[in-house]
Amino acid sequence: MIFQVLRYAYGGAKVMAMKSRLLTPEDYRYLLKARDLQEMAGYLMSTAYGPALKDWDWRSPDAEADLNRRLYGDLAQAFLKVRRGLMRREARFLERLAVRLAAENLKVVLRALHQGLAPEEAARKLLPLNGLTPLNFGELVRQGNIPALADHLAPTIWGMPLARGLPRYQQEQSLFPLEMSLDLFVFDYLRQGLKHLSRTDRRLAGRVLDLRADITNILWVGRFREIYGFPGEEIYQYLIEAGSFIKPQARRDLAFARDTAEMAARLPRPLQTRLAGAADRVAVEERLTAYWAETLAKLQRLPPFQMGLPLSYLFLKEMEIHHLITLATGKLLNLPAERVLPQLRPGLAGVI
């Protein structure tokens, strides 16, 4: 235990300080009641997001996209600050967690090349990830086409997932197989990073990643079945081999469920209990989002000398970014607060 304390003495204190700057229910109350995007932005300027939003023009045609870039740039900076506060072993693990953001930028590159966007136009859609990844995205959007991009990235960690999805892309001219290949790779790459941690941290972080994989698999199955109409055979190919679904039969049971009720009945007991009575995909997503938020909150209450603190903080920070983007979209569409609130994390239901 003494070694854990020493390894996290500085980093744990730093993350605790950063955690204190996350938005509060009171902040969300003001943001929800803001009359428009200008008022929302004005309030955010008084929070920890002030530096990220400096000189942001809410009236510009590109206002929403620019806001997204700025908010994700703030998330990237949070990753860098947390990583700098940790010892090498723990920092290496968080570097793998940050690969998720690089994958989102690679999807932007894929879409730009698929659509034939000019490099300058594509570059404006990229998230600012300076210092967080060795990839030069400005160079990637100039590769001309997706096969050329795959060749360019072949020597990197991204070579394998792109090569795996490329044949189906060329056959179907759909980005879906490529994007799913990236998503599956990111989960696997992050789980491989657990070996760099101590036994205590590996056990705790592994439980967090397993739950994230479980939730993601369940959400994907619902969307693939109900939105895309995929058959069970195809859904099975896109599931993550982790958590409760590390065995092929568990993934098959999930993939071939005919509806929400049958899917819930095939889940392990804790997840089955969580989804009891959930009538449709939307209810499932709400229940699982609540479960995820509760899990992260519990990790924040543990002693700060373990990987659960920085890991849960960064997931909570990412959730907060999603909320702000949801709120901004609601202001642009003139949606009442009552329409926006259900899309925010559980625990905020009493803010209006």
Q: What is the pLDDT of residues 42-62, one digit of tens each?
A: 999 999 999 999 998 888 888
CB under 8 Å to 81, separation ≥6 — which residues? Answer: 14, 18
> What mean pLDDT is predicted for residues 243-271?
95
> What mean pLDDT is predicted for residues 100-108?
96
Q: What is the pLDDT of residues 314-344, one digit of tens each?
A: 999 999 999 999 999 999 888 888 888 887 8
Residue with tokens 């290496």: 92
The rounded distance, in Å, linking the Cα atoms of 90 and 194 is 9
CB distance 9 to 85 below 8 Å = no
Confidence class for position 158, pLDDT limits 50, 70, 90: very high
Q: What is the pLDDT of residues 64-80, one digit of tens each?
A: 889 999 999 999 999 99
The rounded distance, in Å, linking the Cα atoms of 37 and 185 is 37
Query: What number of other Cβ atoms are within 10 A of residue 172's Cβ?
Result: 10
CB distance 189 to 95 below 8 Å = no
What CATH number should be reported for the domain whose range is 198-303? 1.20.1690
Alpha helices in the chain (DSSP H): 2-19, 25-33, 37-44, 50-53, 63-84, 88-115, 119-123, 137-140, 146-152, 159-172, 176-192, 199-226, 232-237, 248-255, 260-265, 269-274, 281-300, 308-332, 337-340
Domain boundaries, the chain: 198-303
Res 6: pLDDT: 56
What percent of the chain has a predicted confidence (pLDDT) above 70?
96
In a 13 Å sphere around the CA of 295, the CA atoms on its Cβ side amount to: 22
Q: What is the pLDDT of residues 238-248, one digit of tens each?
A: 999 999 999 99
The rounded distance, in Å, linking the Cα atoms of 256 and 236 is 8
Res 4: pLDDT: 62
Give the residue, 255 or 11, on which the prediction is more confident: 255
Res 152: pLDDT: 98
What percent of the chain has a predicted confidence (pLDDT) above 90?
78
- Judged against a pLDDT cut of 90, whether residue 110 lies above it is answered with yes
> What mean pLDDT is predicted for residues 79-88?
92
The per-residue pLDDT of the chain, averaged, comes to 92
Alpha helices in 193-280 (DSSP H): 199-226, 232-237, 248-255, 260-265, 269-274
- Judged against a pLDDT cut of 80, whether residue 312 lies above it is answered with yes
Confidence class for position 346, pLDDT limits 50, 70, 90: low
Q: How buried is residue 140: exposed, middle or buried, by Cβ count under 10 Å (0-12/13-18/19+)?
A: buried
Task: Average the pLDDT over each of 2-16, 192-206, 238-252 and give the range with the smallest value.
Answer: 2-16
